[in-house]
Structure 1
Amino acid sequence: MLKSALWQGTAAEEVKEAAGRVYRRMIGSDTQDWGMNMNQWDWTPGVGLIAILHYAEALGEKDAIRYLENWIERNKEKAAHAKVINSMAPYGVFPELYRRTNRDYYLETAGDIAEWMVHEAPRTREGAFEHTVTEKASFPEQVWADTIFMAVLFLARQASLTKRTDLAQEALRQVELHFRLLQDGETGVLYHGWDCTSGNHMSAARWTRANAWIVIGFPLIVKELKQVAEVPSELLERYRVLVDGLLQYRNARGLWHTVMDRSEFYEETSGSAGIAAGILCAVRLGLLDTGYVEEAAATCRAVLSMIDTDGTVLGVSGGTPVMKTIEDYNRIPLIASLYGQGLTLMMLAEWIQADPQ
């Protein structure tokens, strides 16, 4: 079934070649432009690093693992100046790099960061990680879907590496809080954010990329936590309801609009790629049944068509805080970005792993 759904009219070599182009575009970027600047310690390159690890594991790319090690060596001194929840993303590769290299630096640094997250990172009144950022902006008492991928994934991986049930329980708590505060009970999809002070979803945008962070982040978190703790059935059901809800908003071409229930808004590639990656990952890990692959197939082919000849992923919206109005989301410009590259690379890596040959 996987082959009939995903590979009809698309050769495996075509997907692998596209993944290689997307990867090389990421690591070959020497620009200082915010979206593609790989040499900073923040969430944008962090998404890129997590995606490169995903790609390396799918294809056995040892050069990609060496790239991750070299990147950390070049940039690790910058981490001290970026100790906020949104810049935890680069640490997401540390547990696996420790497994591969046995270097104490990875283990000790990841241990220190996990302690900071659990005991010092700012929290909202509900106990969720407050979405703090490196930019000159403050979002007090705000919960964003992004945090699950940027920070909680690392915490789950560190829990798995060290077999620490306290870290596993904190990761589960954060997932539960984010689902409870962000999931729309009527449609099943997620709002971009929640303001704990006002007790509302602010502009109440059903932003596609916000949903993507959790659709791909959740199965990766469950994969790690299953080694340490029992994942509540309620979370697994919430995830299935989320995916089912999202599929109701996908357009005829296989993509989601940047705000999914506003069909007059532009199509957005990174969120669409992240959702497809998450669905395929969840099927691979047994969290969704194989029938969902058919749903992901159309999106995969549509995203593939958005990769330029030089590996740039097109149709990616720029950095997006919770906007004041829903209309503001449609005014965010399209840019080349490491998170657009990264979510697309993760989708391609999952597509490759779904090949039964």
Structure 2
Amino acid sequence: MLISYFDDYARDYEPYKAGAWCYEDGCLYRGLITLHEATGDPRWLDHLTRLVDAQLDADGGLADYRITEFNIDNIQPGHALLYLHRLTSQARYLDAARQLGLQLTHHPRIGTGPYWHKLRYPHQVWLDGLYMAMPFKIALGLKLDDQALVEEAIRQLTTALDLTFDKASGLYRHGYDESRLQDWADPDTGLSPAHWARSIGWLAMAFVDVIEHLPEGESRRDLSKRLASLNDRLAALVTSDHRWLQVIDAPDVKGNYPESSATAMFAYALQKSERLGIDRHGDLGRSALKALTDLELRPVEGRRPQLQNVCCVAGLGPFQGIYRDGSIAYYLTEAIRPDDIKGVAPLMMAEAERLLAEGTALNRQDETRRLLQPVNAV
């Protein structure tokens, strides 16, 4: 069921922002990459190539991308550029990825090093942004044989983890304001007040996607220890039906609900954590994946199934005439959008991990090397 659902979804997908280069489309690209890596099925690569090429010109220019916006979200789709360059050796993909690297060179930072979330969110670090930037920065550093880029990304990530960690709960807060100017920021800590599940989901995915690229050593051990602690907290907070709530640690608050994008993100990260040898919570991830398939992937009359209970968007500070204060009550007011890509893409990634764990996937050592050889270099 899931494979046909993903295939239909990718076939029917309309770019999230009218074709402009954006992280939402990048989420789909990441889902397609993981399915292609896990199965070798060319349909996933065909979808990926078709969608990415529609946003890329012959010289590597990205559709409606402006570096001066300094939007950290725009970095995340760069994974697709590196993947397609790896498979085809076409220079335009790497040229485009270098543009994103140039943004990271000049992107504004807080005093201790991590990037601002966006130019319009000055002095702020959000968990979302750690996923958007750090795995790509490390992958680009490895591609360009630039170890300094890799090491800087690790420093930025660990600094941001220290800043956003809430010791009392063992969780991470959605945002940190260095300036303490935002109304949502605690005047002492600079932290936002509640624990939004999807922000922690972005972080969990950042953890595993960074750790997989690191050799054995102090940095890998440190990040693995932090992730194992987070995974233990996730195991303690899972609902009786194997999902996680929109405000993850507030089960008694009226209106709180099991949120599908965060659940899918944790389903992916927990399984991948086990594959990377960090801990043994893979079964919890697989049970969450099954819960989403059984409870939230529902047929819609006259249409294909849709993934339900996906929070459309949430953030901090002013946006479209409202002030998002980061409170529990705020997160429970955000709109729910069925089949939003921020839920479907991590569901793809979680299923790819399940296939790997099951042993039915093709990407074992020799097959992986064969699949990832450059083909028809142009």
TM-score (norm 2): 0.81
Residues 207 and 223, structure 2, Cα contact 8 Å, conserved in 1: no
Taking a change above 3 Å as real, the CA distance of residues 69 and 246 of structure 1, as seen in their structure-2 partners, is same
Q: Counterparts of 2:109 and 2:169 in 1: how far apart (Å)?
A: 27
Q: Percent of pairs identical after alignment?
A: 21
Paired position in structure 1 for 2:308: 314
What are the superposed Cα offsets for residues 294-313 of structure 1, whole Å, 9 maximum, x if unpaired? 32232122111211332421
Q: Give yes or no for contact 1:276–1:299 (8 Å, CA) kept in 2.
A: yes
- Cα distance in 1 for residues equivalent to 2:124 and 2:7: 33
Residue aligning to 1:224: 213
The Cα shift of 1:38 comes to 7.1
Within 1, Cα distance between the matches of 2:351 and 2:224? 24
**Is residue 2:240 matched to residue 1:255?**
no
User: Counterpart of 1:140?
Assistant: 122
Whole-Å separation in 2 of the counterparts to 1:83 and 1:60: 35
Indicate the residue corresponding to 1:277 in structure 2: 268
Counterpart position of 2:59:
none
How far is 1:345 from its partner?
1.0
Conservation of the 8 A alpha-carbon contact between 1:23 and 1:311 = no
Single out whichever of 302-311 and 140-149 deviates more from structure 2: 302-311
Separation in 1 of the partners of 2:355 and 2:21? 29
Q: Which residue of 2 aligns with 1:192?
A: 174
Paired position in structure 1 for 2:368: none
Deviations, residues 200-225 of structure 1 (Å, cap 9, x unaligned): 35442111101111212211112123
Contact preservation (8 Å) 1:27, 1:38? no
| Partner residue, 1:21 | 5
Gaps of 5+ in 1: 1-16
Q: Is the 8 A contact 1:156 1:225 kept in 2?
A: no
Residue 80 (structure 1) aligned to one of 55, 65, 87 = 65
Cα distance in 1 between the residues matched to 2:305 and 2:29: 17
Provide, for residues 158-200 of structure 1, a one-character-per-residue CA deviation record: whole Å limited to 9, x for no partner. Answer: 1222221011112211220221111222332111111111253
The answer to whether the 8 A contact 2:21-2:65 is kept is no
How many residues align structurally?
Answer: 329
- Alpha-carbon shift at residue 277 of structure 1 (Å): 0.5
Contact 1:22 1:312 in 2 (8 A): no
CA distance in 2, matches of 1:342, 1:201: 31
Alpha-carbon distance in structure 1 between the residues aligned to 2:24 and 2:6: 15
- 2:114 counterpart of 1:120: no
| Cα distance per residue 1:60-93 (max 9 Å; x no partner) | 1222213222222211341423652111111122
Are 1:294 and 2:294 matched, yes or no? no
Specify every segment of 5 or more residues in structure 2 that has no aligned partner in the other structure, as ranges: 57-61, 181-187, 317-323, 361-378
2:342 to 339, 346, 351: 339
In structure 1, what is the Cα distance between the partners aligned to 2:117 and 2:168?
A: 25
Please tell me the root mean square deviation across aligned C-alpha atoms, in Å: 2.1
Q: CA–CA distance in 1 between the matches of 2:174 and 2:7?
A: 28
Higher helix share: 1
Per the TM alignment, residue 355 of structure 1 is displaced from its structure 2 partner at its CA by 0.6
Contact 2:202–2:265, Cα closer than 8 Å, also in 1: yes
CA pair 159-187 structure 1, distance change in 2 beyond 3 A: same
1:93 to 56, 80, 85: 80
Give the counterpart of 1:326 among 319, 325, 328.
328
Larger Rg: 2
Q: Does 1:238 align with 2:229?
A: no
Asked if the contact 1:159–1:225 (Cα under 8 Å) also holds between the matched residues in 2, the reply is: no
Higher relative contact order (CA 8 A, sep 6+): 1
Change (3 A) 1:27 1:129: farther
**Pair 1:55-2:42 in alignment:** no
Q: Show the counterpart of 1:350.
A: 353
Counterpart of 1:163 in structure 2: which amino acid?
A: D
Q: Distance in 2 between matches of 1:51 and 1:311?
A: 18
Q: Tell me by how many angstroms 1:51 deviates.
A: 1.3
Contact 2:123 2:178 (8 Å CA) reproduced: yes
Q: 1:155 to 1:38 in 2, by over 3 A?
A: farther
Mapped partners of 2:330, 2:281: distance in 1: 32
Structure 1 residue 111: Cα displacement: 2.4
Cα distance in structure 2, aligned partners of 1:171 and 1:355: 32
Code of the residue aligned with 2:221 in structure 1: it is: S
User: Is contact 1:24–1:311 with CA below 8 Å preserved after alignment?
Assistant: no
Paired residues of 1:312 and 1:341 also in contact (CA < 8 A): no
- Give the structure 2 partner of residue 39 of structure 1: 19
- Contact kept, 8 Å, 1:26 with 1:341, in 2: the verdict is no
When normalised by structure 1's length, the TM-score is 0.86
